[in-house]
């Protein structure tokens, strides 16, 4: 190995260490949910004893112990603050995290491996909020999320409409002319189909856009790049080769914010979910109720619930405190076999 290669390997390790430390602090904040007191002497002793036993190699045990004493001290300091946690699906740098930051910068974004983990974590009280995508202007409804919404007891307390600006990212120093393979989530790859074909790049599906960026930074496969967010490039020290590579200019994803608690502030938009009998005209009768009250519908989506059964999602402008909305909701409930007001909330449109 040359000095340049050794230093590059050190830079990669340093980046991984920082990400692992950040993850440890996230776990410390999550652990607080299960503790009656921050100070736990027996647990600290257990951790430090294990560190002493496992201190081998070039690092002296005393140094390792000092480092961990400081790490534990920082974790306790974070636990003393009243941080709220908001869960999203994917690795750090995912568009869910971007949306979470746009909705409330005071919350700490926590990554989850599956959408179900977001729902379950909020329901159990592990996270104060969760943020999930429900629809994209190019890809349509996010079916997995909408199916989870059908039976959830959670409330919708906010929404974010986020422009999805896709970036081609690669490790610093990568010659863009040598790139052959592009890793990313299938939806991101499909949204850049023309760009990939035009540049004769081979798409390779990955579970998450940010996960692809993270993998690229850690494993550095040859002649490869990823399609991910600008935030992913910043977090994983990647170079942005080209921004806004999506095929269509208007590429928006709408995210809903979930909470166990109902929204405390008056909203200007509402979401409901309902089912109807299998009779001709029942869906039209419900939609007609909103039309009579001059309520502007912004989304209607049908999602398979059980074999032969569909649930309908309806979003509209207005507040449940308005008389016209209250009337429409009351009458719609009478015509439904299942009806739930998911929530009234304020929606933020990010420019």
Q: Answer for the pair 330, 340: CB distance below 8 angstroms, yes or no.
A: no
Q: What is the pLDDT of residues 222-258, one digit of tens each?
A: 999 999 999 999 999 999 999 999 988 888 999 999 9
Sheet architecture: strand order including 181-184: 202-205, 181-184, 224-228, 167-171, 238-242
Checking if the pLDDT of 159 tops 90, the result is yes
Q: Is 307 left (phi over 0), alpha (psi -120 to 50) or beta?
A: beta
Residue 216's contacts (CB-CB under 8 Å, 6 or more residues apart) are: 169, 170, 171, 183, 224, 225, 226, 236, 238
Which has the minimum average pLDDT: 5-19, 20-34, 207-221?
5-19
The answer to whether residue 255 is catalytic is yes
Q: Answer for the pair 119, 155: CB distance below 8 angstroms, yes or no.
A: no
- Bridge partners for 271 per DSSP: 315, 343
The residue annotated as part of the active site, out of 115, 253, 312, 339, is 253
Per DSSP, 232 falls in state: H
Checking if the pLDDT of 211 tops 90, the result is yes
Residue at token pair 């856009």: 209
Checking if the pLDDT of 74 tops 80, the result is yes
* Residue 168 confidence class, pLDDT cut points 50, 70, 90: very high
Looking at every residue in the chain, the average pLDDT score rounds to 91
In this predicted structure, what is the pLDDT of residue 175? Answer: 92
Structure tokens at 239: 């170079």
Structure tokens at 341: 């007001």
Checking if the pLDDT of 279 tops 80, the result is no
Share of the chain above pLDDT 70, in %: 99
Mean per-residue pLDDT for 329-343? 92
Question: What's the CA gap between 88 and 131, in Å, rounded?
Answer: 5
Q: What is the DSSP string of 84-144?
A: -EEEEESSTTSHHHHHHHHH-TTSEEEEESSHHHHHHHHHHTSSSEEEEEEEETTTEE-HH
In this predicted structure, what is the pLDDT of residue 307? Answer: 65
Domains detected in the chain? 3-80 (1.20.59), 85-163+252-349 (3.40.190.10), 167-242 (3.40.190.10)
* Residue 308 confidence class, pLDDT cut points 50, 70, 90: low
Name which of 140, 159, 19, 35 is nearest 100 in CA terms.
Answer: 159
- Cα end-to-end distance, the chain, whole Å: 47
The answer to whether residue 313 is catalytic is no
Share of the chain above pLDDT 90, in %: 69
Query: What predicted TM-score, i.e. pTM, was given to this entire model?
Result: 0.90
Mean per-residue pLDDT for 49-58? 80
The residue annotated as part of the active site, out of 119, 195, 255, 313, is 255
Residue at token pair 């002793």: 45
């Amino acid at each position: 190995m040359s000095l340049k290669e050794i230093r590059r390997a050190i830079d990669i390790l340093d980046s991984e260490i920082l990400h692992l430390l950040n993850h440890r602090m996230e776990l410390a904040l999550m652990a607080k949910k299960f503790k009656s007191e921050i100070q736990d002497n027996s647990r600290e002793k257990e951790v430090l004893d294990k560190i002493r036993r496992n201190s081998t190699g070039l690092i002296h045990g005393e140094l390792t112990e000092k480092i961990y004493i400081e790490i534990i001290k920082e974790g306790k300091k974070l636990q003393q603050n009243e941080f709220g946690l908001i869960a999203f699906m994917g690795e750090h740098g995912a568009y869910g995290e971007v949306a979470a930051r746009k909705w409330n910068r005071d919350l700490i974004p926590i990554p989850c491996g599956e959408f179900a983990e977001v729902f379950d974590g909020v329901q159990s009280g592990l996270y104060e909020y969760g943020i999930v995508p429900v629809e994209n202007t190019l890809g349509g409804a996010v079916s997995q999320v909408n199916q989870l919404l059908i039976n959830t007891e959670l409330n919708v307390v906010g929404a974010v409409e986020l422009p999805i600006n896709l970036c081609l990212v690669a490790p610093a120093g990568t010659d863009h002319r040598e790139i052959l393979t592009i890793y990313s989530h299938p939806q991101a790859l499909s949204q850049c189909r023309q760009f990939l074909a035009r540049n004769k790049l081979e798409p390779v599906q990955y579970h998450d856009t940010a996960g692809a960026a993270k993998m690229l930074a850690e494993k550095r496969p040859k002649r490869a790049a990823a399609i991910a967010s600008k935030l992913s490039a910043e977090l994983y020290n990647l170079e942005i080769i080209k921004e806004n590579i999506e095929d269509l200019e208007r590429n928006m994803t709408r995210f809903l914010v979930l909470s166990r608690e109902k929204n405390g502030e008056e909203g200007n938009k509402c979401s409901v979910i309902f089912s109807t009998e299998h009779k001709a005209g029942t869906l039209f009768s419900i939609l007609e109720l909103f039309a009579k009250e001059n309520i502007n519908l912004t989304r209607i989506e049908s999602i398979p619930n059980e074999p032969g059964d569909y649930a309908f999602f309806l979003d509209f402008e207005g507040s449940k405190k308005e008389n016209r909305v209250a009337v429409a909701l009351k009458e719609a409930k009478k015509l439904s076999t299942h009806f739930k007001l998911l929530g009234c909330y304020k929606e933020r449109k990010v420019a």
